[in-house]
Amino acid sequence: MFRKAIVRKPCPNLVAGITTADLGKPDYHRALLQHSLYVEALRQLDLEVIELEADNRFPDSVFVEDVAVCTNDLGVITRPGAASRRDEIGLIEDVIGSHFERVETIKDPATLEGGDVMMVGSTFYVGLSDRTNKLGISQFRSILEKYGYSVIRVPLGEILHLKTGVSYLEDNNLLVSDEMGDLDLFSSFNKILVPADESYAANCIWINGTVLIPAGFPVTKQKIKDAGYKIIELEMTEFEKLDGGLSCLSLRF
Ligand code: CIR
C-alpha cells in the first residue's frame, strides 16, 4: 500500500535531457500537461503528492525516481551514474530527510539509479546497468541488509534501467518485456509478457490495486486487464522521447 508520492515538475530545459530515443525533442507545454495528468492520477488513487518545483539547471530532474530509493521505513539517496544528473541528489535530500527517520547514502565511486531498483516485498532486485555499477549494488546491499531487506543483482542487456524492461504488479505478477522474459531469476513469478513492439509499456506502476499504463499499447493493456487490474492510461509521449517511463516520474512510498 502506498500513501505518498514525490514528483518534480518538468523544467523548460527538459528539451536538453539525455536520450537514446529517436523520437524528436519533447514539447515542454505538452510535457507539463502530461505531468499534471500523471499527478492527478496519483491523487485520484488517494496518494498524498508532494510536488517539488521545477529546476532548470537539471534537464532530467523530472525523473525523480533515479535519485532516491524509498522503502517503508528507509530513504536511500543514490548516486546517479549519469554525470549530468549527479547533483540532482542535492535537490532531493531535504524532502527525503523530512519523510524518513532513517536516510542512507550511496557513496563515490559507487553509482546507482533508482530506475534500476525494483521492490518485491522485502526483496530488492537491482539491475547492473550503465548507470548502476557493481559497487553501487554492493553498497546498496550492505545498507538494505541492515534493515532486514535482501538484494538480488540482475544482469541487464541493452536497456537503460531494470524497470525499463520489468515492473512488479504485486501478487507475484511481473510485467516483463519480451527480451527479459527468459531470465531464470524471474522464473517463480507469474509473467505478463509485453510484446516486442510494445516494449515501452513494460514500465508500468502498480498503485494500491490499480495499474498506470502508458497510452497506446493495446495488447499489454488487455493482458493487464485480463490479470484483474483496474487501469489508468496516461499519455507519456513527451517523456518517452527522453527514455523516461511512468515509474521514473515519482517516488512512491
Ligand atoms: C536519463 O537518461 O537519465 C533520463 N533521460 C531518463 C531517466 C529515466 N528514468 C528511469 O527510467 N527511472
Ordered by start, the domain boundaries in the chain are 4-163+236-252
CA atoms within 13 A of residue 122's CA, in its CB half-sphere: 7
Residue 111 gets which letter from DSSP? Answer: -
Structural class in CATH, domain 4-163+236-252 = alpha beta
Q: pTM of the full predicted structure?
A: 0.97
Mean pLDDT of the chain: 97
**What is the spatial distance between Cα 104 and Cα 220, in angstroms, rounded to a whole number?**
36
**Cα torsion 41, 44, 46, 52: sign:** positive
**What is the spatial distance between Cα 95 and Cα 78, in angstroms, rounded to a whole number?**
14
* Residues in the chain where the model's pLDDT stays below 50: none
27 φ/ψ angles, rounded to the nearest 5 degrees:
-90, 120
Cα 105 to Cα 34, 97, 235, 249, 252: the distances in Å are 31, 11, 33, 21, 18
Predicted confidence (pLDDT) per residue in 214-248, tens digit: 999 999 999 999 999 999 999 999 999 999 999 99
pLDDT value of residue 100: 98
47 φ/ψ angles, rounded to the nearest 5 degrees:
-85, 145
SS3 240: helix
Show the ligand 1 pocket: residues with CB < 6 angstroms: 17-19, 60, 63, 65-66, 82, 85, 115, 160-161, 164, 242-245, 247-248
pLDDT value of residue 84: 97
Mutate to test the pocket of ligand 1, among 14, 63, 126, 167 (most ligand atoms within 8 A of CB): 63
pLDDT value of residue 62: 98
